């Protein structure tokens, strides 16, 4: 259940995990659940199966069981397992990490812009996980990659999104945290600068998200729900600058590019989000001075203006909720200050 994750795009945790359902045959003899699952899941080891059962990744007839549970005819077994692509060796690299919290079970890192979370096609080095692998190996030279696959990756944020990400340091912690993301119980708040003046002070965006039918690197909203996965984003206006709006977004689900796609869907594309058309003037007349101001803003924050500010979850060992906050990074802070100054100048004029 805790197998390798390699060569995948920046996906949400729902994409990393899949549910498998089994129905026990009528003639099945009593058999330990851990041995039965090991035989029915390709590549599964008994130790991984037992850790997954302990973490609650397996239910029988809707209930959590222990590894020594004896299956019975008619039992409905539901297993949540990791997608299992081919193995790739993770290169250790001495990359500076902004670790905001760490204990024996997990670490919370404040990711900078322009850093991919994990290796993949075109990004085999320089990723967050390359740095984490080196860091953990310095702590424990005998660390077992099989015991802790992908060094505890349980969720991801886009390359140009900054902010908080949690990684597990033990297999059990990885399973418990991944289950919280899968069940949408993790608290996540983002800050984004979007084009346009959002009229409502707060609101909710719903709409199924799936890959764009023409551009497979992008995603789109399919309101009818026949395509894609259900997604919910709550937003609240923090500050208005007439042409752009600073908003807080709370994720109820965690789909790929969810905030970026949902905000574009309601007509408020994220500022300088080149993939979704936010790297050009979408609001305001294109006069020379205004155009130059916006271009200066693009240079000041040369990425999608999105920051993962708040992250909260139940600790896998203490079972207490812990919350973390991350201040806006320098580029977004300077961007907001520049728009604030521009509006003050406009109002004085």
**Sequential DSSP letters for 334-345:** HHHHHHHHHHHH
How deeply is 63 buried, as exposed, middle or buried, from its count of CB atoms within 10 A (0-12, 13-18, 19+)?
exposed
Q: Is 158 a catalytic residue?
A: yes
Closest by CA to 235, choosing from 278, 264, 274, is 264
What spatial distance separates the first Cα and last Cα of the chain, rounded to whole Å?
62
Helix H or strand E encompassing 81:
strand 76-82
Contact 120, 132 (CB under 8 A): no
| C-alpha gyration radius of the chain | 22
Question: Of 158, 220, 279, 331, which one is the catalytic site residue?
Answer: 158
Mapped onto helix, strand or coil, the DSSP state of residue 135 is helix
Give buried/exposed letters for 108-133 (b at 16+ CB in 10 A, else e): bbbbbbebbbbbbeeeeeebbbbbbb
Least Cα distance to 249 among 230, 271, 233 occurs for 233
Q: Strand (E) positions, 146-243?
A: 162-168, 187-195, 202-206, 208-211, 219-222, 232-240
Residue 182 parent element (H or E): helix 171-182
Task: Give catalytic residues, as residue numbers.
Answer: 158
């Amino acid at each position: 259940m805790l197998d390798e994750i390699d060569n995948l795009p920046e996906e949400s945790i729902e994409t990393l995990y899949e549910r498998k359902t089994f129905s026990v045959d009528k003639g099945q003899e009593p058999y330990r659940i851990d041995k039965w699952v090991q035989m029915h899941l390709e590549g599964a080891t008994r130790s991984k199966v037992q850790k997954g059962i302990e973490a609650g990744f397996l239910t029988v007839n809707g209930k959590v069981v222990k590894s020594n549970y004896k299956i019975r005819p008619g039992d409905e077994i539901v297993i949540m397992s990791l997608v299992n692509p081919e193995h790739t060796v993770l290169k250790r690299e001495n990359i500076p990490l902004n670790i905001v919290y760490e204990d024996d079970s997990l670490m919370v890192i404040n990711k900078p812009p322009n850093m991919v979370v994990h290796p993949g096609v075109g990004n085999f080095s320089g990723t967050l996980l390359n740095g984490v692998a080196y860091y953990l190996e310095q702590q424990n030279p005998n660390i077992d990659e099989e015991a802790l696959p992908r060094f505890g990756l349980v969720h991801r944020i886009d390359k140009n999104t900054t902010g908080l990400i949690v990684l597990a340091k033990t297999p059990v912690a990885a399973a418990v945290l991944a289950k919280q993301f899968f069940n949408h119980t993790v608290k996540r708040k983002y800050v984004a600068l979007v084009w346009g003046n959002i009229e409502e002070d707060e609101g909710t965006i719903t709409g199924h998200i799936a890959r764009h039918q023409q551009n497979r690197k992008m995603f789109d909203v399919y309101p009818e729900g026949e395509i894609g996965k259900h997604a919910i984003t709550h937003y609240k206006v923090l500050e208005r600058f007439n042409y752009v709006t600073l908003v807080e977004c709370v994720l109820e689900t965690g789909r790929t590019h969810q905030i970026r796609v949902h905000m574009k869907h309601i007509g408020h594309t994220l500022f300088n989000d080149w993939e979704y058309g936010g790297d050009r003037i979408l609001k305001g007349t294109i006069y020379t001075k205004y155009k130059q101001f916006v271009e200066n803003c693009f240079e000041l924050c040369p990425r999608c203006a999105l920051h993962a500010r708040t992250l909260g979850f139940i600790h896998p060992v203490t079972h207490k909720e812990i919350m973390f906050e991350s201040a806006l990074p320098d580029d977004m802070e300077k961007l907001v200050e520049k728009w604030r100054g521009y509006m003050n100048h406009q109002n004085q004029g």
